[in-house]
Amino acid sequence: MSDLDLARSPAIRRLADWDHQQLQSLAAEYGTPLYVTDLERVKANYRRFSAAFPDAHVMYAAKAHTGRSVLEALLSVGADIECAAGGELKRSVDAGADPNTLQYTAVNPPAHDLDYAVDLAEEAPGLTITIGATDTLDRLAERDYDGRVAIRINPGIGTGHHEKVATGNDAKFGIPYEQVPEVADRVREEFELVGLHSHAGSGVLTDDLEDHCMAIERVGELARRVGGVEFVDIGGGFGVPYHEDEPPLDLEQTAEMVREAVGEIDAQLKLEPGRYIVADAGLILTTVNTIKETPTATVVGVDASLATLIRPAMFGSYHPMQNVSAPDRETEPVTVGGPVCTSADVFATDRPIARPERNDILAIGNAGSYGYELASQFHSQPRPAEVALEDGTSRVVRRRETLEDVTRVEQ
């Protein structure tokens, strides 16, 4: 992407920026609920982020969206991939990634995941395994692994949009800060120590940058203390604004603050954006099936549910929402919920939306990150289809599940 193209690519794509007529056509053609992913936007986001960090190695954190079409799109523009599970390693390889370029950052990895990673590394010695507990070193040694290892640091500082994603001060994640030099000595004796890794949290916006950079500063200090590593990976966590009135990250300012926080290191700087790359590249289309007037609220029932998008129920997350069938109707505060039998199955409460009517199509924005990844079959609901937009065309990249799919694995 040229400098001119980057300048034309906005830092954030708001829900209002999508073509509403196209969205109506997609809902009519493919049905709802429906995930829509714009692969051109995915690639543009990666290029913009990489341009802000020209001296860094920018990987994509696959857990944000592991769809094969997304991985293939990112590989096509030169992205490498960071994986947090064995299944993500498998998906990346299937999408065409060179396993020598993969980084496996596991948290309490199950045995079958470690087995898969070690087996993969036998054929691809460039693969890096990041450990967050000394037990994992024991388990790797039991598997006769002596290859590339990075140490995940717990910097003692957590940031992000919710306490459940502030990993930097959660004991579950990483080696305690003061123990890292001793662990590094052990790794050097038994394996090939290639890097240090840390991830302070997720959904970081401008107000969180100061704390985020404090965590990064600690990682830089430890890198200089440990020395002799190939890379220092400060993770991802860079957020996008979900509320319409929130400004996007100033990437140039963010990059400057990050470089200053890391300081002088004799190693390659790595970053792992996930949410920033895919969040605003995806949305959900859902059909209104019920309008219920009550003394306290107008309740709008839709065919999507927390099984389609669990973030509002799980994190209390705000997702923008618009009526793409009739955007010019007078707005009215409504409560929008799905068909799951729990009060948590609500996407919005008292939200001003162009007054919905039955069979209208609503769009739920910023669903490209941790949307389909967290979809489930709760209430025995088949998972939705996903279509990808690229080069002016649409195609199904995940078919809609059927009721037969829901019970297929049962015996």
pLDDT in tens, 190-249: 999 999 999 877 677 877 788 788 889 989 999 999 999 999 999 988 999 999 999 999
Does 1 score more than 60 pLDDT? no
pLDDT at 158: 47
108 and 251 inside one domain:
yes
Q: Are residues 263 and 287 in the same domain?
A: no
Residue 264 covered by a domain: yes
Residue 352 pLDDT level (bands cut at 50, 70, 90): very high
- Decide if 224 is inside a domain: yes
Looking at the structure, do residues 296 and 249 belong to the same domain, yes or no? no
Cβ neighbours around 144 below 10 Å, total: 8
Quick check: 163 pLDDT over 70? no
Q: Are residues 262 and 354 in the same domain?
A: no
Using the 3D structure, point to which of 250, 273, 296 is the last residue of a domain.
Answer: 273
22-74 per-position pLDDT tens digit:
999 999 999 999 999 999 999 999 999 999 999 999 999 999 999 999 999 99
Residue 309: the pLDDT is 98
CATH number at residue 329: 2.40.37.10
Q: What is the pLDDT of residue 76?
A: 98
What is the predicted pLDDT for the residue at 5? 55
- Both 359 and 319 in one domain: the answer is yes
In angstroms, what is the C-alpha Rg of the chain? Answer: 22
Give the separation between CA 207 and CA 382, rounded to whole angstroms: 39
- What local confidence, expressed as pLDDT, does residue 166 receive? 42
236 contacts 201 by C-beta, under 8 angstroms: no
In a domain, 251, yes or no: yes
How high is the pLDDT of residue 212? 81
Domain boundary, last residue among 222, 254, 273: 273
Query: What is the CATH classification number for the domain harbouring 257?
Result: 3.20.20.10
Is the domain of 216 the same as that of 361?
A: no
* Catalytic entry in 4, 171, 341, 409: 341
pLDDT digits (tens, 9 = 90+) for 64-119: 999 999 999 999 999 999 999 999 999 999 999 999 999 999 889 999 999 999 99
| pLDDT value of position 196 | 97
At residue 261, the 3 state secondary structure works out as: helix
Angle between helices 68-76 and 86-94 (to 10 degrees): 60
- Rounded mean pLDDT of 269-298? 96
Which of 257, 273, 289 is a domain's end point?
A: 273
Q: Residue 162 to residues 204, 237, 346, 371, 378: CA-CA distances in angstroms? A: 10, 12, 19, 16, 24
pTM: 0.93
Residue 172 and residue 244 in one domain: yes
Q: Which domain holds residue 291?
A: 280-407
4 in any annotated domain? no
Shared-domain flag, residues 227 and 319: no
Helix (H) and strand (E) counts for the chain?
A: 13, 20
Same structural domain, 128 and 250: yes
Report the pLDDT value the prediction gives residue 8, as an integer from 0 to 100. Answer: 57
Q: What is the mean pLDDT of the chain?
A: 92
Task: Look at residue 160 in the predicted model and tell me its pLDDT.
Answer: 42
121 located within any domain: yes
Check residue 4 and give its pLDDT.
42
Could you read off the pLDDT of 365-386 as tens digits, one per residue?
A: 999 999 999 999 999 999 999 9
Percent of the chain whose predicted confidence (pLDDT) is above 90: 85
pLDDT of residue 311: 96
Distance, CA of 239 to CA of 256 (rounded, Å): 17
Q: Is the pLDDT of residue 169 over 70?
A: no
Q: How far is CA 376 from CA 88, 218, 370, 381, in A?
A: 18, 38, 12, 8
Looking at the fold, whether 268 and 285 belong to one and the same domain comes out as no
For residues 252, 254, 258, 259, the Cα torsion angle rounded to the nearest 10 degrees is 10
Q: How far apart are CA 214 and CA 157, in angstroms?
A: 8
Contact 16, 354 (CB under 8 A): no
HSE at residue 203, side-chain half, CA atoms within 13 A, is 19
pLDDT in tens, 126-157: 999 999 999 999 999 999 999 999 999 988 76
75 lies in a domain? no
- pLDDT mean over 348-353: 97
Separation between Cα atoms, residue 57 and residue 202, nearest integer Å: 19
User: Is there a contact between 233 and 196 (Cβ–Cβ < 8 Å)?
Assistant: yes
CB 326 within 8 A of CB 360: yes
> To which H or E segment does residue 321 belong?
strand 321-323
Is 213 part of the annotated catalytic residue set? Answer: no
**11 falls within a domain:** no
190 and 148 inside one domain: yes
What is the rounded distance in angstroms from the CA atom of residue 160 to the CA atom of residue 313?
Answer: 18
Distance (Å) of CA 260 to CA 58, 76, 280 = 18, 31, 28
Domain-embedded: residue 72: no
pLDDT at 322 over 70: yes
Total domain count, the chain: 2
My answer on whether 268 and 290 are in the same domain is no
Residue 214, both tokens = 């404090």
What is the model's pLDDT at position 157? Answer: 60
